[in-house]
Structure 1
Amino acid sequence: MHEFLLARGRSNPGAPAVVEFSEAGDPVVTSYRQLEDRVREYAAVLDGLGLDVGDRVVLETDTSGPAIALFLACSSLGLVFVPVSPEVPDARLASIVDSARPALHLQTDRGTRTGLPEGVGTGRFGPGGLGIERPPARRVRRRRAVQAADTAYMIFTSGTTGRPKGVVMSHRGVIAFYRSLLAAAAVAPDSRVATTSPFQFDFSLLDIGLAFGSGAAVVPVPRAVLTWPRRFLRFLEESGVTHVDGVPSIWRPVLAHEAETLGRLTGLRGILYSGEVFPPAELRRLRELRPGLRIVNCFGSTESIACSFTDVPDPLPASVEELPIGYADGGAEIVLVDEDGTVVTEPGLTGEIHLYGPALFTGYWNSPQATRAALVPDPVTPESGQVVFRSGDLGSRDEAGRLFYRGRRDSLVKIRGNRVELGEIERRLLEHPAVRAGAVLALPQGRSAAELALYAFVVPRAAGDFEERALRAFLKEALPEYMIPHQVTVLGALPVTTNGKTDRAALSRIVAGPDARAA
């Protein structure tokens, strides 16, 4: 992976690879030559620790030039980088560390994380270099050469068991994805690609691959800027950004409050969006403000990063009420399979998306049962021994063969582009000593049906023995911010269906209000 990402920049080593801004607002540009020098510097320190190919390294950081150099250094030595956010709660990080059993935990010079288990080495990195504070437990080096089938990284997502689930991706899989990405959405060498996703979100790797694979520059957008539409647009303009990748949620406040400013942002050439549905009405407004802007819908999951890239029509006709996710990208294929295991070929019928292709994940870390449930025999020719990814996403095709997303078959939802298993939040609710029963729903919020929010319903163990503030604090000890419910409702009992299961339709009516409950 490191060779693939650095190769294009070697033809013009003085070109900018990463463009950042200091707290004073001054640009900090790292050229491809400087980036590769830093990769070698970091790799020399890591290599001196005697780590083996396949050893895990937790990188607790936001996206930055040093962070990119560090994960490329890990790649060059065959070390598996495990990105986590500096904002991840201690309990969740402890769960990830317990599962991944890393050799090292590395954070930035300004990191404040403490309390890592004995045996896990610790260190800090930044523009000044990589310093090891506590060396890892003694390792046995069995291998030295990195192979294409080796693991490149592991991303932990929300899991149905109540513990984060590690998605394992090989160098071969990442490179296959990058090649299909560049064929579908390549940018020019003079482009600047703004990355808005957290480093532990796989679409940050999409941004880096799109930029470096084209010899262009990555521009990390500070997290604080994203929540202020005017500051966000000013940052894009002042940094010379030409392309932006991010969830549709980052554009909604812009369209609502700074539409005219967005219309004047003529340096912007393209937008990629992913992780959520972008309502056609909002896309149409974006098209009106910036005709000629290329807008690409990237659809997929962490297990494949993305599997389709679809251009939004320009102009977007008023008659269009639903946008397709198109077709599988180059080298991949999608088939739909119904509940009986039969391949769906008739237009309009819904089936579960099964993905063929070289850019699939290797499996779930230390979870063979979950891996077997997701990587299943080819439904068309099971005799071949080939496995395909059973995604859990539902879809249907129109007469032209275009694919449309139809939701999920399980409790996984997307909140601001992040994968969330509702069961993981529910398990945490039930761990609170004052909660006897609980349920969580993801329901539309505001004017857009595509923007989901989390709603929790709890039944206290004793009347009056419940404080919402204490419950929220308890949840934040183990869950990231995007998994904290938007609203908590206290009930005397959870409604149930005739077969004794939680009546989620009744719970959604409680949120909708008295009129809906009466109906």
Structure 2
Amino acid sequence: MTQTGTRSLHAPEFLHEFLLWHAAARPDQAAVLERSASGVFRAVSYGELRTHAEEYADTLAGLDLDVGDRVVVDSDTSSAAIALLIACSMLGLTYVPVSPEAPDARVLAVAEAAGAVLHLQPDDGRREPLCPTRGRGRFGPDGLRIEQLPPVTLCRRAALTQTDPAYIVFTSGTTGRPKGVVMSHRAVLAFFRGMLTYSIVGPDDRVATTSPLQFDFSLLDIGLALGSGATVVPVPRAVLRWPRRFLGFLGDSAATQVNGAPSVWRAALRHEPERLGRLGELRGILYSGESFPLAELRRLRELRPGIRIVNCYGSTESIACTFTDVPDPVPDDGPGIPIGVAHPGAELLLIDEHGRPVHGAGSRGELYLRSPALFTGYWDDPEATSAALVPDPVEPRSGQILYRTGDLAYRGEDGLFYFTGRRDSQVKIRGNRVELTEVERRLMDFPGVTAAVALVLGQPVEQTRLCVFVATSLDSDTTVAQVAAFCRLTLPEYMIPAELHLVEELPVTVNGKVDRAALAARYATDVA
């Protein structure tokens, strides 16, 4: 197989070219700053990153794999994992990241669903061999070591193209089968180029990434940092569970930009606000995945005046599509923080339930995305793909395909979009349509409430109940009776929760989003 070169005078066309674009001009600039198990920080330069990637690619090239073959990378974010991503791109191999924290059954399900030919993990990885017929190996600073050769495949391809898959991110599918989102080189680069127009970071920044590698937000962080000539700073997963250690890591690494779900800040704001306020190098935060409670945003502003906070909206199917600066000061009331408009080169549309475009401020509809950064489809699932990638509702004769996001929004008087919830989060309570997100937003207006989640629980259908879980600040003496009284004053009768539960904190998934399934399980246990 012919290896695609990493030095080029033309604009990047492939993922590896984009990520190594600054290696030629600034080979000594730190590309990744990571902390070892002993606590020592080590910088890996752009030149070293390129060398590691080329060495990995040389080893992979000797396996006679075909363009498009899938490689499962079972790792946290590290310089070695990023080098392996680049190496796979060089050879046209499709990168399939999974988490070392995931159970064996989940990783095996992903590998089998993807038809992966190779399973790779770091030198210190603890995963036992998953399948005797699948190739496996280990990688690290000293190179890539193949422990079992992959099965012989028929090489049918001669060259890598921009439409070939760069990676597949597997998310939870509604059928219980992992759902693979296929992203091409062309789509990934279209997104990265749109993102860089916002000048979120520069060459002198250190971008702390808190998302696990198998979550597409981590790939956003890598592209944002390396595409800007900045430094990626992977935050160890164990550090995130302890606010003092998390803030200590940010201080020790001199991180200037921190990206992640809003939940990464909740414990720090709750338990270590003074320490957070002393992060003198921190000048930027980018969040995504969920809404950031306004009270917590205001507290962040108080602790770090002048900091730039960016609300990033989107989904795995396009990585993201909007970047909007949070106002300073954070508004006390009103519609909340807008998600803005699509990045340059893309467009968001509002479509009503009859498939017609929605115009005018205040009108609500479902968001459709027109973009060159759209995913190719769901791996081995044409039915789900055709439901998400649909003909252009404005001009269906064009053959153009748009992504139906499933998100509901409206356009404000300012021309910006405001997210209101998910199409599938609309539920019926006693015959009335209820948007769960609206209930959650209303509860967030109560003083002392830091987070709220609304769920419809119970079986059978006629016995379902609207239940709300509310987390409050440490210094709050909020009671269930007070919150219930607030609901009666501010919500229609059919939207008033049947049950209210005060909790110290809300459980989160490995991706940093509220774990609604865990809350439902807790409720079921309490009922039993």
Structure 1 length-normalised TM: 0.81
Q: Determine whether 1:401 maps to 2:425.
A: no
SS at match of 2:204: coil
- Cα displacement (A) at 1:444: 3.9
Match of 2:180 in 1: 166
Q: Which residue identity lines up with residue 238 of structure 2 in the other structure?
A: A
Indicate the residue corresponding to 2:353 in structure 1. Answer: 339
Note the residue ranges of structure 2 that are not aligned, 5 or more in a row. Answer: 1-14, 427-435, 438-454, 474-508
Using a 3 Å threshold, how does the CA distance of structure 1 residues 240 and 442 change in structure 2: closer, same or farther? farther
Instruction: Report the Cα offset of residue 93 of structure 1.
Output: 1.6
Q: Out of 286-295 and 312-321, give the one that drifted further.
A: 312-321
Map of 1:49 onto structure 2: 63
Q: 1:121 aligns with which of 114, 135, 139?
A: 135
What residue is the counterpart of 2:382 in the other structure?
368
Q: Would the alpha carbon gap of residues 111 and 441 (structure 1) be closer, same or farther in structure 2, given more than 3 Å must change?
A: farther
Aligned-residue offset at 1:257: 1.6
Q: Give the match's secondary structure for 1:39.
A: helix
CA displacement 1:60-79 (0-9 Å, x = unmatched) = 00000100000110011000
Matches within 5 A, 1:130-169: 130-169=144-183
1:112: how far off?
2.0
Shift of 1:116: 2.1
| Cα distance in structure 1, aligned partners of 2:516 and 2:138 | 28
Alignment partner, residue 201 of structure 1: 215
Q: Residue by residue, what CA displacement relative to the aligned partner does 1:400-450 show, whole Å, maximum 9, x if unpaired? A: 221111111126999xxxxxxx99xx9xxx9xxxxxxx99999544139xx
CA shift digits 1:107-163 (9 cap, x unpaired): 111112224223310111111111111101111222232111110000000111111
Alignment check: 8 A CA contact 1:375 1:389 kept:
yes
- The alignment partner of 1:156 has SS state of strand
Answer whether contact 2:23 2:50 (CA < 8 A) is retained.
Answer: no
Aligned to 2:3: none
Match of 1:284, SS state, is helix
The residue type paired with residue 488 of structure 1 is R
**Deviation larger for 372-381 or 224-233:** 224-233
How big is each residue's C-alpha offset from its partner over 1:253-307, in whole Å with a ceiling of 9 and x where there is no partner? 1111211222221111100000011011111111122121110000000000111
Partner of 1:86: 100
Task: Specify the alignment match of 2:441 in structure 1.
Answer: none
Aligned with 1:67 (options 76, 81, 85)? 81
Distance change >3 Å, CA 175–CA 357, structure 1 → 2: same
The one-letter code matched in structure 2 to 1:175 is L
Aligned-pair CA distance for 1:489: 4.2
Partner residue in 1 for 2:506: none
Contact 2:104/2:130 (8 A) holds in 1:
no
Change (3 A) 1:250 1:131: same
Rounded Cα–Cα distance in structure 1 between residues aligned with 2:467 and 2:17: 41
The answer to whether the 8 A contact 1:395-1:404 is kept is: yes
Decide which of 33, 36, 41 is 2:47's aligned counterpart.
33
Matched, 1:381 2:415: no
AA of the residue aligned to 1:446: A
Cα gap change, 1:230/1:320 in structure 2, threshold over 3 Å: closer, same or farther?
A: farther
Percent identity of paired positions between Structure 1 and Structure 2: 58
Shift of 1:338: 1.2
Distance 1:2 1:442 in 2: 47
Are 1:485 and 2:518 matched, yes or no? yes
Secondary structure at 1:251 match in 2: helix
Q: Does 1:324 align with 2:338?
A: yes
Please name the residue that 1:433 is paired with: none
8 Å contact 1:291–1:314 — kept in the other structure? no
Amino acid of the residue matched to residue 178 of structure 1?
F
Give the residue type in structure 2 aligned to 1:485: A
Aligned to 1:278: 292
Letter in 2 for 1:29: A
Cα 1:109/1:365, change in 2 over 3 Å: same
- 8 Å Cα contact 2:259-2:287 kept in structure 1: yes
More divergent stretch after superposition (336-345 vs 172-181): 336-345
Matched ranges for 1:232-251 at <5 A: 232-251=246-265
**Partner of residue 188, structure 1:** 202
Rounded to whole Å, the distance in 1 between the matches of 2:514 and 2:137 is: 26
Q: Given the superposition, is the C-alpha separation of residues 439 and 320 from structure 1 closer, same or farther in structure 2, using an over 3 Å criterion?
A: closer
* Alpha carbons 2:209, 2:233 under 8 Å: kept: yes
Does structure 2 retain, via aligned residues, the 8 Å contact 1:337–1:344? yes
Q: Give me the whole-angstrom Cα distance separating, in 2, the residues matched to 1:132 and 1:441.
A: 53
Question: For 1:446, which of 471, 474, 478 is the aligned residue?
Answer: 471
Cα distance in 2 for residues equivalent to 1:130 and 1:481: 36
Q: Which amino acid aligns with 1:251?
A: W
Mapped to 2, the partners of 1:58 and 1:67 lie a distance apart of 11
Alpha-carbon distance between aligned partners in 2 of 1:403 and 1:483, rounded to the nearest angstrom: 26
- Counterpart residue type for residue 336 of structure 1: L
Contact 1:280 1:321 in 2 (8 A): no
Whether 2:192 is the aligned partner of 1:178: answer: yes
3-state secondary structure, aligned to 2:317: coil
Contact conserved, 2:129 with 2:136, CA < 8 A, in 1?
Answer: no
Q: Is the 8 A contact 2:76 2:100 kept in 1?
A: yes
> Which residue of 112, 125, 128 maps to 2:126?
112
| One-letter amino acid matched to 1:25 | G
- Amino acid in the other structure paired with 2:155: R
SS at match of 2:156: coil
Secondary structure class of the residue paired with 1:344: coil
**What secondary structure sits across from 1:8 in the alignment?**
coil
Do structure 1's residue 288 and structure 2's residue 302 form an aligned pair?
Answer: yes
1:357 aligns with 2:391: no
Q: What are the ranges of 5 or more consecutive residues in structure 1 without an aligned counterpart?
A: 415-421, 431-437, 449-475, 492-509, 512-519
Match of 1:261 in 2: 275
Q: Distance in 1 between matches of 2:280 and 2:249?
A: 14
CA apart distance, 1:247: 0.5
Answer whether contact 1:191 1:242 (CA < 8 A) is retained: yes
Displacement of 1:27 in angstroms is 1.1
Match of 1:91, SS?
Answer: helix
Alpha-carbon separation, structure 1, partners of 2:120 and 2:137:
5
Question: What root-mean-square deviation, in Å, do the aligned CA atoms of Structure 1 and Structure 2 show?
Answer: 2.7
